[in-house]
Structure formats: C-alpha cells, structure tokens
Amino acid sequence: QYNLALVKIYIERAKGEMNRGNEDEGLKYQNNAMEFAQSAQNSSANSVVVQETAAAVYRDLSEGDDGYNQLSLKAFSLARALEPANPVILTELGQRYYFAKKYDEAEKSFRQSLAIKKDYRLAELRLAKILAAQNKNDEALAILQKLSSETNDANAYYELGLLYFNDNKLEDAQNAFNTAVTLSPLNSNALYGLALTLEKTGETEKALYYLKKIQRMNPTNSEIITKIKSLEAKK
C-alpha cells in the first residue's frame, strides 16, 4: 500500500510538471513512479490490486507498442491469472495485445470479457476495432451498428464512420462522422474523419472548415497543417 500510494503521488507530480512544460522534472517523477510500482509488484506479486495498478501506470506511460506497453501487458497478464473472471482486466489486457499487434490474443481477451459481461460496451467497441483490423468487417459492422443504435457514444459512431470510409461507402461514413461530431464537437478524430470524407466527395470548402477547427485545437499538428495547405492549393 505504501508503494502504491507513492506511485499515485509521483504520477500526479509527473503530470503537473509535464503540463507546465518541465519535461525533465516530469520524466524524473515518472521514473520514481515506475520504481515504486515495480517494488510493489516484487513485494506483493500475488495481489490483483498491485498488478492491476502497476499495469495501469505502465499503460498510461505507453505510446503504442513500446517498453511501457510490454510491461503493462505482462502486469495485466499476471492480474488476469490471479482473477480470470474479471471483465475489466480482460478488456485492458486485450487492448495491450491490440497495441502489440497481437490481434488473435486481443480478440480472444475481448470475447472472454464479453462472455462474462455481455453488455460491457467498452469490450464490444474494442472487439469491433480488432475485427476491423483483421478485415472481419461484417461482424465489426454488426457490433458497431448495434452499439450506435443503443448508445449515444461518439466513439462508436466514429468507428462506424471509419469502417464505412474504408469500404468507400462515403454517404454512410459522412452520416456516422456527423453524428459523432454532434455528440462530441471537440472529438478531433471524428472531425478529421469527416474532413477526409468531405474531401473525397469533392466538398473542399467544408473539408477545410473542419480541418481548421482541428488546427485551432492542435495548432502545432504538422499533419493537419500539411493537409490544409494541400487542400488550399487545389482551390
């Protein structure tokens, strides 16, 4: 408990320093958090709470499939072994497998989670994403249509729009992205999806409107800046 308490303190300090632009101090506190998380794991290896907390710390420090993701995957695996019927742990483990591009393992974890808790929306959404990543589009589409009809989750509509976009069903994609933006006006992923769809249908002015909206939220995003210049050159 002592180690876990220090982990939480150092994580909060790291976030504070990072937000103030003090990257070196932030990294120092991140390393402190890592050390105490590992100490907690070493001293209480058979504690689900310890393994799950450590896994969450590593998860929050990871960017894709890096060393932190691998540590998180290992810790969530240990937590799953200790508590195999916990749908939250199974879903988190599936997401770590997803970032590690171990799609079969990810799909298995999400399905196990849903076998325990059938209405676990997060597991359903992540299962749909992993199915789409494996080109199992029919099942992914069925899940996303169900989720979007039953919930007002902008993420479900975004993933639905992405699936339609990749299948070149542009009208359906635009409708889905529009709904996502309506539900979550600052959702940059949905805004970008909508802009790309509008560009593909020849509605350049509208596409630029949404791209510039994203730029106001993320003024240093080089991909958005380049995309705006490209579209403006076509006008």
Q: Predicted confidence band at 65 (pLDDT cuts at 50, 70, 90)?
A: confident
Q: Model's pTM, two decimal places?
A: 0.86
Helix (H) or strand (E) holding 184: none
Task: Name the band, by pLDDT with cuts 50, 70 and 90, for residue 1.
Answer: confident
The pLDDT value given to residue 184: 95
| pLDDT at residue 235 greater than cutoff 80 | no
- For the cut 80, the answer to whether the pLDDT of residue 99 exceeds it is yes
Decide if 119 contacts 150 (C-beta within 8 A): no
Per-residue pLDDT tens for 135-150? 999 999 999 999 998 9
Q: Are 117 and 139 in contact (CB under 8 A)?
A: no
Closest CA to 171 of 153, 197, 147, 196: 197
pLDDT at 60: 87
In this prediction, residue 64 carries a pLDDT of 84
pLDDT of residue 213: 95
- In sequence order, the 6+-apart residues with CB closer than 8 A to the CB of 70 are 100
Res 39: pLDDT: 93
Q: Is the predicted pLDDT of residue 164 greater than 90, yes or no?
A: yes
Give CA–CA dist 124/143, Å, rounded: 7
Mean pLDDT value across residues 60-82? 93
What is the band of 114 on the pLDDT scale with cuts at 50, 70, 90?
A: very high
Task: Tell me what pLDDT residue 102 has.
Answer: 95
Give the pLDDT confidence score for residue 61 in this predicted structure: 85
Tens digit of each residue's pLDDT (9 = 90 or more) over 18-55? 999 999 999 999 999 989 999 999 999 999 999 999 99
